[in-house]
Amino acid sequence: MPIDQRLIDEARKARENAVAPFSKFKVGAALRTTTGKIFHGCNVENCTYGLTVCAERVALLSALAAGERSFDSIVVITQSEEPSTPCGPCRQLMWEFCGDIDIALTNLEGKRVDYKLSTLFPNPFYFSLE
């Protein structure tokens, strides 16, 4: 299913809940399952910064906690001039739990760049017990 305006709007709505008192850099994410359910995420900062959680991870962990295991796309929205890419830990978790999903990065002015996760994360760490 292609990324549509609804998914972008959901990410924008999620961004409104961001807790970013230190950086003032609010991020929203909307992760869609293959059945069409949408899970929201926003960044939540902590004064140590090390305990800050990114919007992408909040959306993914919410979906996993709800029992979802199959995803097709995620939108990430920021207020930056250029759309911001997910950090390394977010890319790794998305790879492990979402595979090569579609990613739309956008800003509040509507500038958008689309990727496959494999383009942003071409050599992920992978380990299998099988």
Instruction: Tell me how many domains the chain contains.
Output: 1
Confidence bin at 23 (pLDDT 50/70/90)? very high
Give the predicted TM-score (pTM) of the model: 0.95
Torsion sign over Cα 43, 126, 64, 36: positive
130 is catalytic: no
- Mean of per-residue pLDDT scores for the chain: 96
- The answer to whether residue 32 sits within a structural domain is yes
Q: What angle do CA 111, 113, 119 make, to 5 degrees?
A: 165
The CATH number that applies at residue 53 is: 3.40.140.10
- The answer to whether residue 127 sits within a structural domain is no
Give the structural domain span for 86.
5-120
Check 10, 45, 56, 68 and give the catalytic one: 56
- pLDDT tens digits for 66-114? 999 999 999 999 999 999 999 999 999 999 999 999 999 999 999 999 9
- The answer to whether residue 108 sits within a structural domain is yes
- The answer to whether residue 128 sits within a structural domain is no
- The answer to whether residue 19 sits within a structural domain is yes
How far is the C-alpha of 57 from the C-alpha of 89, rounded, in Å?
Answer: 9
